[in-house]
Chains A and B, each alone.
Chain A
Amino acid sequence: MRAARSKLLLLLPAAAVFVLFLVFPILIVLNESFHTFEPGRIGSVEGGPLTLANYAELFQPVYGQYFAQTYVLAICSSAVSIVFALPIAYCIARTEFAWMQKAAISAIVGLMFLSSLVRVYALELTFGSAGVLAPLMSIIDIDTNSRMYINFVILAGLLQYSIPMSILILIGAIKNLNPRLTEAAMSLGASALAAHLTVTIPLSMRGIVSAFLVSMTLGVSAFVIPLILGRGRILFISNLIYSRFSEVANYPSGAAISIVMMVLALLLILVMSRLATTLERA
């Protein structure tokens, strides 16, 4: 009994950090989101009446735009990264040269470990309005200041991380497949394309779903990418929350957006992991 208790003591520091720096802060955000905002004050009024106004406010179309902006770009980046990552992951998983596989995986891990700021700066330097490709863009008549173009640059920013990560996840999924299944399909007369569409893709569905989920989670909570590449013209939900703190000091509103964003993020994980289990069973 004493031994068991002393073993649980080892968990204490981590549990303390977790409760103090994660659970408490989130509860404070939750509490704040039900308070009224008084302009000119930092934070809400202590002991004031509780209100749902901060949430009701979010039904205005302006806010819908921010949420739509974030989710559309996140879904696009997840879908595009699956389409690009799947064939690449297949090639890497099935290559017969061990050194080639090792080199490819090292390069991909290297890209993922790269500081997000380096990645964002590299994109801005390459595709930005003051970047090295700007002269080329003006030749082929692309306006680097248009909303559409900024959207594309943000999408590129999301893809810089989600493609390598999806490749890594899918390599694992494809390695678990028996290569003989695809071979069997082909020897029975299926073309390589048909074999992959009917054998490889359905059997690696769990990997595809989890790659999609991770890309989505990353996309919807992206902060630095839209902060810099969006040039203040395109904001994600995260940036909106930050501006509630840095520009108008409307904490209750920022808190309400945070709670909605968190609930949506958790719902996404729940739905996607349910989906993965269902597909697994099917």
Chain B
Amino acid sequence: MLSTKERLNADVTFRTKALVSAKPMLSKRRIDTLLAIAVTAIVAVTALFLLFPVVVTVLMAFDGRDYIGPFPPTELSTQWFGRLFEDAYIWEGFKTSLLLAIATTAAAAGIGALAALAISWMSPRLRDVVTTMFLSPLVLPGVIIGFGLLMFFAAFHQLPAFLKLFAGHLIITLPFTIRMTLVGLAGISQTLREAALSLGANERQVFFTITLPLTKNGIAAGAIFAFATSMDDVTISLFLSDFQTYTLPLALTTLIKSNFDLTIAAAAVAMISLTLVLLIVLDRVLGLERAMGHGANRIR
């Protein structure tokens, strides 16, 4: 990283030395050295700041002590994982979360893919308006969506909490599936379609043999975003759950506030592993850079 900069500096010094006297260059070089040092410091401090808490959590999850002692742990054990697996409260939340995330992902991927197809056939101006509208749940504060849904569902008595959660998660995951499918669709060259049509294929055949297979990865990437968002949501779920039907993040939130111990660190390690798996799949289906270029502002 720095070598480029240093080489550039050296290069500049070399080139300008012939033209200007060396004296003012010294102070300029000092400024550049200071800049290089400052940049290195910023990179180091940021990396430490971003990674240290995660490293602490992972190591503390294997702590052999019975209490939260100073870091690093003096002895290692898997006792917290044992407690995690015996914790019925967390398990119940995990089961609900997994079921909810699967249902939400399937529905959001299907509905989102259909909507993205329709949007891709629109005129550019209309396309922008409709896309902005469907992506708006991403920028609206989650509390407002949660609060609104809560009052909306109050009109229907005795609706199961699972269905309410499903509706809430659907509205916040749909933007991802629509956007990622659009990314997938945008990557298809128009000439492929035209070639197939000119070779005698009908619209239907073009769709099933060209459009759909080439969009598959975009849809899959959207599904991964949807799954991750659903597994992660606290804000909206908090309004829509009840004491029987709650998600894993809600269970963990309650535990962090009431019973702060290292069982949660063990749960965090499990969630980090899940994140890694999702990332590897995302990298395979669409490539991380391409996916993040379009899905980067995951607001919550």
Contact = CB atoms under 8 A, between A and B. Distances in A.
Interface in A171-227: 172, 183, 186-187, 189, 191-194, 196, 214, 217-218, 220-221, 223-224, 227
A221 B143 contact: yes
Interface in B205-220: none
A95 interface: yes
Contacts of A168: 292, 296
B53 A126 contact: yes
Interface stretch (A14-22, A58-66, A144-152, A274-282): A14-22
A196 B296 CA distance: 25
A116 interface: yes
Given A25-B148, A100-B1, A132-B71, A228 B256 contact: yes
Give the interface centre of A90, A128, A258 by most chain B CB atoms within 10 Å.
A258
A118 interface: yes
B238 A217 contact: no
A77 interface: no
Contact of B147 (A3, A160, A245): A245
B170 interface: yes
B260 interface: yes
A121 B268 contact: yes
Give the interface centre of B45, B60, B234 by most chain A CB atoms within 10 Å.
B234
Chain A contact-residue range equals 35 or more
Contacts, number: 287
Given A14-B111, A118-B271, A165-B296, A96 B4 contact: yes
Contacts of B144: 26, 29, 241, 258, 261-262
A56 to B, nearest CB: 20
Nearest to A124: B256
A262 B260 CA distance: 33
A114 to B, nearest CB: 5
A245 B277 CA distance: 37
Interface residues of B, number: 103
A120 interface: yes
Contact of B46 (A18, A106, A163, A196): A163
B96 interface: no
A176 to B, nearest CB: 12
Interface in A63-114: 84, 87-88, 90-92, 94-96, 100, 105-106, 109-114
Interface string A152-177: 00001001100111001100100000
A117 B272 CA distance: 11
A269 interface: yes
B115 A14 contact: yes
Given A113-B275, A164-B50, A168-B292, A10 B114 contact: yes
Contact of B288 (A94, A105, A133, A220): A105
Interface in B265-291: 265, 268, 271-272, 275-276, 278-279, 283, 288-289
A90 B4 CA distance: 11
A122 to B, nearest CB: 4
Contacts of B54: 111, 114, 118-119, 122
B289 to A, nearest CB: 6
A271 interface: no
Give the interface centre of B114, B148, B278 by most chain A CB atoms within 10 Å.
B148
Interface stretch (B77-85, B134-142, B186-194): B134-142
A119 B50 CA distance: 9
- 7 closest A-B pairs by CB: A25-B148, A221-B141, A14-B115, A122-B53, A132-B71, A11-B118, A10-B118
12 contacts: A10-B117, A15-B115, A22-B137, A118-B275, A125-B56, A126-B56, A130-B260, A160-B50, A172-B293, A217-B297, A218-B300, A258-B143
Given A14-B115, A223-B142, A224-B253, 13 more contacts: A7-B117, A10-B115, A14-B111, A21-B168, A26-B148, A32-B151, A112-B292, A115-B268, A127-B53, A131-B68, A224-B235, A251-B151, A261-B143
